[in-house]
Structure 1
Amino acid sequence: LLSGGAPHTSGPVLMAGLELLAQLDTRHALQAFRGPQLHLFAGLDGLVPAEAAGELLALLPDVEIGLIEQASHAFLLEDPHGVAGAIQAFLHESGDD
């Protein structure tokens, strides 16, 4: 986990954010979007485990799933090159490069 550059946020503020996230349901919006979708998961993510990809694929069988193996929920900061590579490969496969 990143700790040196992470902002310091109080426990109640973090809990309020998690409660808000628990109430969000983006399934309809994801199903309504007709373009190609790439959903990246992190192998060490304690908040959104990579196993959630199975449920996503059950809901949206045509999406692309990627895994940033040795990263946690902050995978964008932990492995920016891995994320960029996954996005680049997805765009190349989609013909949008």
Structure 2
Amino acid sequence: MIALEVWIALLIVLVMLGSALAVLLLRSHIAAVVAASVVSLTVTMIFVLLRAPDVAMTEAAVGAGLSSLILALGLRRLGIWQLDGKRAGRNLLMRDHDDA
């Protein structure tokens, strides 16, 4: 029988993979930043399961906290944190046919 910690780790890994895929597929840049912070939070939970609280606290503070804040402020500074119209439907996996 598989231990409870293994099931929890598998669930965390599935959430992490789903969030990483969402970063690539989401159309909203802010939503992609939130998904990236979810990836960092799941990595934090993996470190907690591995009994490395110092690394988990660092990952939570830097990975989920500071990096997400810097990405969101960068989007705001560039003016693409809320897009309307034609450009709002693009993401990293879609080619822009207007530029070609």
Normalising by structure 2, what TM-score? Answer: 0.33
More helix by share: 2
More strand by share: 1
Normalising by structure 1, what TM-score? Answer: 0.34
Larger-Rg structure: 2
Q: Which has the higher contact order (CA 8 A, sep 6+)?
A: 2
